[in-house]
Chain A
Amino acid sequence: MTDVSLLAPQAEVKGRSLWADARRRFLGNTAAVVGLVVLIAITLLSFGQPYLGLRDPADINWDMISAPPDFAQGYYFGTDQNGRDLFVRTLQGGQVSLTVGFIATMVSLVIGTLWGASAGYLGGRVDAVMMRIVDILYSIPFVFLVILLTVVFGRNIELMYLAIGAVSWLDMARIVRGQTVSIRRKEFIEAAHASGVSNWRIITRHIIPNCLGPVVVYMTLTVPAVILTESFISYLGMGVQEPDSSWGTLISEGVKAMEVAPWAVLYPSLVMVVTLLALNFVGDGLRDALDPKDR
């Protein structure tokens, strides 16, 4: 006597996946949404700068040297001591700073995830040695090494992107390892292992996708750290060089002229701080959205 009706399709209860749930929580977080909108706006403005019909960042206006903001003439942030439009230069600097944030974070993501997942999955002595290496690298003052690198190999932006990324993967590796250790013993991994899937494939196809939540969160927190590192190096005059600019070089130039033209330091700093704040809000929002602990 089987009750067929029990097996018949019922009114479908729509399940919420982790990501759908996370999206709902994220969109409910005002600070995070505002942060995201600000971030998108700054990114679009920075990279759209050549196409917006603005002045060329290298254009010099001899009548406007260190001039305060002048909306009538379209100098929204004023000009620097060479008569260049600071608004355009800030946007141009944004290109460099945001690119550093993106590329270096990607580099750190690739190295950190692979390192952490391998250590956590292989376990035992391999794990011990790999994490000991992370411990050792942890206490190395990396900014100095990056500066050393730029001193030794000349000021090459691409190299600096890679170098900053190559030194920012340690936290990522630790987080991914922790996550991996906790899912390594799960049945689906065992099943994959039993059906003869190679270690490399298990790591890349099963372990890493399952670590994605914390990794995404940590990524958004790496971006501001990386942007700060780049601007730190550029501020010291060892990073991006004229005629290119990054927020670090603009702030450093602004500081030199601070007493006569405070806007030259104020506006670039403001844009940078707003960007960093937005990134932090988005990161915190993502953490709250993806953290299964307070569900």
Chain B
Amino acid sequence: MLNYFIRRLLGAIPTLFTIIAVSFMLVHAAPGGPFDKERKVPASVEAKLIEKYHLDEPLPQQFARYIGDLMQGDFGPSFKYPDRSVSELIAAGFPTSLLLGSCAISLALLLGVFLGIWAALRQNSWIDYLCVGSAMLGIAIPNYVFAPLMTLVFGLLLGWLPVNGWGEPRHMVLPILALAIPQVAAITRLTRASMLEVLGSNFVRTARAKGLPEAVTLTRHAIRAAMLPVVSYLGPAVAYVVTGSVIIEEIFRIPGIGRYFVLGAINRDYTMVLGVTVVFGALIILCNLIADLCYGLLDPKVRYD
């Protein structure tokens, strides 16, 4: 187990390296320097800036320097806010984004798995059709349509929840819902399909044939096996939530790193955009790793050797 874990951890390093390298190259292929502003800085100042940020060095050397700094947790200076470093900005926004994202993922998992199993156990009933139908809608309606619609209905028409602001739990309800709904839909569909397949399989028939109570058959055998595709979907789900959080933080004005990413992209703050991309990449890799380990715990066919 430990062996497997270490091997997977080592395997994640080239992936992370690729992400950093590709993003770094893209950013540095940019036409025009980061200091091309409306107001031209004097040549001497620009030369000073270029020297300070080591932009005169050859690209491989800059890359090595960036990697070296990254190892020490330093994402470099923000080109937009010269008095703050990207690390500071990320550290300021990350807890918010993490809280938002983990709540959304947990909600999506709980609700999606529950609805999926329920629909599968009542196949072709109105419950099933309702679940499948709303899952279809949930997948087709993007969250930047959901979010404004929910603010319109719950915030402005009904006045139940605040539209803006951040800090209290009630401010989090709408963003979490908007972020979770597409994933609830996807997980419902996935769970339902895999549960139906498992319910028709031989080992479930065996369990029933040997007289196990239905509840035990379901919890010990069927659901456990039906969770496998859901667990392997966890990696992509995290990626979707991370991507979605960018737009949700923008819509609800939440001070998370997704918002920094958008601001950075609009202001052409290259180091900021690069830093957030690297953080998100690392997060997604980590979640894939966790999903892999869970998969092994659930699937009796997987052996760590």
Real binding pair:
yes
Q: Which residues of A contact B268 (CB under 8 A)?
A: 151
Which listed residue (B18, B22, B152, B274) contacts A258, Cβ 8 A?
A: B152
- In the complex, whether A255 has a CB less than 8 A from a CB of chain B is yes
A280 touches B139 (CB 8 A): yes
A211-253 at interface with B (beta carbon < 8 Å): 224, 228, 231-232, 235-238, 251-252
Q: Does A236 contact B262, Cβ atoms closer than 8 Å?
A: yes
Chain B residues with Cβ below 8 Å from A238 are 265-266
**Contact digits for A97-136, partner B, Cβ 8 Å, 1 yes 0 no:** 0000000000000000000000000000000000000011
Hey, which chain B residues are within 8 Å of A151, CB to CB?
30, 265, 268, 270, 273
**Contact assessment for A237 and B266 in the assembled complex, using a CB-CB cutoff below 8 Å:** yes
Is A148 engaged at the interface, CB distance under 8 Å to the other chain?
yes
Segment of A68-76, A81-89, A137-145 engaged in the interface with chain B = A137-145
Most chain B Cβ neighbours within 10 Å, of A136, A152, A228, A251? A152
Instruction: Work out how many contacts link A and B, with CB atoms closer than 8 A.
Output: 113
Are A277 and B265 in contact (CB-based, < 8 A)? no
Q: CB distance B136 to A231 under 8 Å?
A: no
**A262 contacts chain B at the CB level, 8 A cutoff:** yes
At the interface, yes or no: A273 with Cβ under 8 Å from chain B? Answer: yes
Which of B148, B242, B262 gathers most chain A CB within 10 Å? B148
- B115-138 interface code vs A (CB 8 A; 1 in, 0 out): 000000000000000000000110
| Contact across chains for A277 and B136 when beta carbons are under 8 A apart | yes
Task: Give the contact stretch, choosing among B53-61, B68-76, B171-179, B276-284.
Answer: B276-284
Chain B CB within 8 A of A276 CB: yes
For the complex, is A210 an interface residue (Cβ under 8 Å from B)? no
Count of A interface residues, CB-CB < 8 Å: 36
Is the beta-carbon distance between B242 and A141 smaller than 8 angstroms?
yes
Query: How close is B304's CB to chain A, nearest CB, in angstroms?
Result: 18
In the complex, A147 has a CB within 8 A of chain B = yes
Q: Which of A141, A145, A153 has the most CB of B within 10 A?
A: A141
B247 engages A259 (CB within 8 Å)? no
Instruction: Judge whether A232 and B144 touch: CB under 8 Å.
Output: yes
Enumerate chain A residues within 8 angstroms of B265, measured Cβ to Cβ: 147-148, 151, 236, 238
Chain A residues, CB < 8 A from B251: 255
Q: Does B212 contact A (CB under 8 A)?
A: no
The residues of B that contact A273 with a CB separation of less than 8 Å are 137, 140-141, 145
Q: Which of A135, A141, A252, A276 contacts B140 (CB 8 A)?
A: A276
Q: Across the two chains, which residue of chain A brings its CB closest to B285?
A: A139
Closest to A137 in B: B18
Interface string of A277-289 (1 = CB under 8 A from B): 1001000000000
Is A265 interfacial (CB-CB < 8 Å)?
yes
A45 at interface by CB-CB < 8 Å: no
A269 close to chain B: CB less than 8 A: yes
A162 within 8 A of B: no
Task: Report A-chain residues with C-beta under 8 Å of the C-beta of B284.
Answer: 139-141
A81 to B292, CA, bound (A): 50
Contact B14 A136 (CB under 8 A): yes
Whether A280 pairs with B140 at a CB distance below 8 angstroms is yes
Residues on A with C-beta less than 8 A from B77 are: none
Contact B277 A141 (CB under 8 A): yes
Q: Give the complex CA separation of A149 and B273 in angstroms.
A: 11
Most buried by B among A147, A231, A252, A277: A147
**Interface residue B142 (Cβ < 8 Å from any Cβ of A):** yes
Task: A140-B281, A276-B141 are known; give 14 further A-B pairs, CB within 8 A.
Answer: A135-B15, A136-B15, A141-B242, A147-B273, A152-B30, A152-B31, A232-B243, A236-B246, A238-B266, A251-B145, A252-B144, A255-B251, A259-B152, A269-B149
A-B contact pairs, 10 of them (CB 8 A): A136-B15, A137-B18, A139-B288, A140-B18, A141-B277, A143-B246, A145-B23, A232-B243, A269-B145, A273-B137
> Which 8 interchain pairs have the tightest Cβ spacing?
A276-B140, A152-B30, A255-B148, A269-B145, A144-B277, A277-B140, A136-B15, A141-B280
